[in-house]
A and B are shown apart, each in its own frame.
Chain A
């Protein structure tokens, strides 16, 4: 099992969600996050005084998938989160040692 963490532009969330459902992913977790990468922050102007705000809002999607779904999921996220402009985000992939469904005690792939 792999965990895919994708940090994307907030306005792309719906599109990516639809694509993942279509790809057969049963659930996901969303976190509203703030941060910066190459895009850096943005500038706010109040009465002529400029403030550079380092952290800009993003959405982080977390999904745990079967090994054989990984490539498809990554492909879908890239396809639907990409705008081609700076700040599109990043994908991180981790190995997952174990998964347990709390209600039924199903484990690993059965728990996804």
Chain B
């Protein structure tokens, strides 16, 4: 709700600090919901995404794949509290970056309320941290099975600092995109386009996996992938409904939109496969659910049920094409389709927000269908800005990482042997 109110008041030209006029009060119901939401979103990274991705890789790389999510979570957990939160959500400096007000969370007490909300600064920092962590971990889907582990740790640290934090500030922290009126309820641009584009750039810089396109690379366990998808779906209620920032009707509306879009998207991706490949695969259904969750994310607090159905229905098709036809046509190796599923559906969801935002659901958002076609243009600007900044920024970050770790890719022997044994000296399964 906080982000939405920010945007709303910016549109009206009312300074956000007008909230200060009435002293902010801690609301224990909102705080409880946001603590739970933070815990739900936390689960998405080291459990949900880790298993979703882990099950899709080859058996020799499952631990390393899970490890990229786990370690991204650990690195971002520290970085975010030290400086990430401050640069993203500290008071705005020229629309570009947050200030150092919350650096190291210094001087923050348990009774300090985050501006524009009724919850403590600590809770807001924790909630936002879980978003930063999953965004980094999402990008790993493009680079698994060949990225050097040390490179990944440095990437997590630098990328969340220099790419994620500024974009989060632009959209949610009172930066230039939020002043422009860009709508992103729970992270279509900040999380999904950002992660998907970063993943693709990183993957292109790494090169294809050895044997890609000539050798079969079947997933180790679709069962784990589906369990991971289910945990992601579960956590996503915190992600989207939690982005209301309060325990209220908007959170309920976002919950319904989220679940509906995910469900119909699972069906639509599966149906596409049934028609094209003659079999309704469960990997397709699970991927479809994730595609729907991604697409509804920016729209979840703005659209009505009909909007969520259309968004979900199309997201299954977008994901199916992104992970299949588009990837094959351009011949890049986006290992687990971070770009095909997350970036493409993030783009679709962000545009769809500009189309379907219903002022009856949320007065802060009015889409083209409700007489405000300009919103699509604003959404397109936010998408383009995010893609451009992420693409260039990620390129630079990866170059720096390469210098720090002496290359970003494991050697051929390690890749052939499998990263689990070669890097970690462990096996995921002993069958």
Q: Which of A28-36, A44-52, A104-112 lies at the binding interface? A: A44-52
Q: State whether B277 touches A46 (Cβ < 8 A).
A: no
Q: State whether A51 touches B284 (Cβ < 8 A).
A: no
Q: State whether B287 touches A51 (Cβ < 8 A).
A: no
Among A47, A50, A51, the most chain B Cβ lie within 10 Å of the Cβ of: A47
Q: State A50–B278 Cα separation when bound (angstroms).
A: 12
**Chain B interface main SS type:** helix
Q: What's the tally of chain A residues with a CB closer than 8 Å to chain B? A: 9
Q: State whether B323 touches A48 (Cβ < 8 A).
A: yes
Q: What chain A residues lie within 8 Å of B281 (beta carbons)?
A: 45-46
Candidates A45, A47, A51, A53; contact of B337 at CB < 8 Å: A47
Within the complex, what minimum Cβ distance (angstroms) separates A99 from chain B? Answer: 35
Candidates A44, A45, A51, A53; contact of B273 at CB < 8 Å: A45
Q: What chain A residues lie within 8 Å of B284 (beta carbons)?
A: 47
Q: State whether B287 touches A47 (Cβ < 8 A).
A: yes
Q: What chain A residues lie within 8 Å of B337 (beta carbons)?
A: 47
Q: State whether B325 touches A48 (Cβ < 8 A).
A: yes
Q: State A47–B324 Cα separation when bound (angstroms).
A: 6
Interface magnitude class on chain B: 20 to 34
Candidates B218, B277, B320; contact of A51 at CB < 8 Å: B218
Among A44, A45, A48, the most chain B Cβ lie within 10 Å of the Cβ of: A48
Q: State A48–B320 Cα separation when bound (angstroms).
A: 8
Residues of B within 8 A of A (CB): 56, 216-219, 222, 273, 276-277, 279, 281, 283-284, 287, 320, 323-325, 328, 337
| 6 extra interface residue pairs, beta carbon distance < 8 Å, beyond A48-B324, A50-B277 | A46-B56, A46-B281, A47-B324, A48-B273, A49-B324, A51-B218
10 residue pairs from A and B, CB less than 8 Å apart = A44-B218, A45-B281, A46-B281, A47-B287, A47-B323, A48-B277, A48-B324, A48-B325, A48-B328, A49-B217
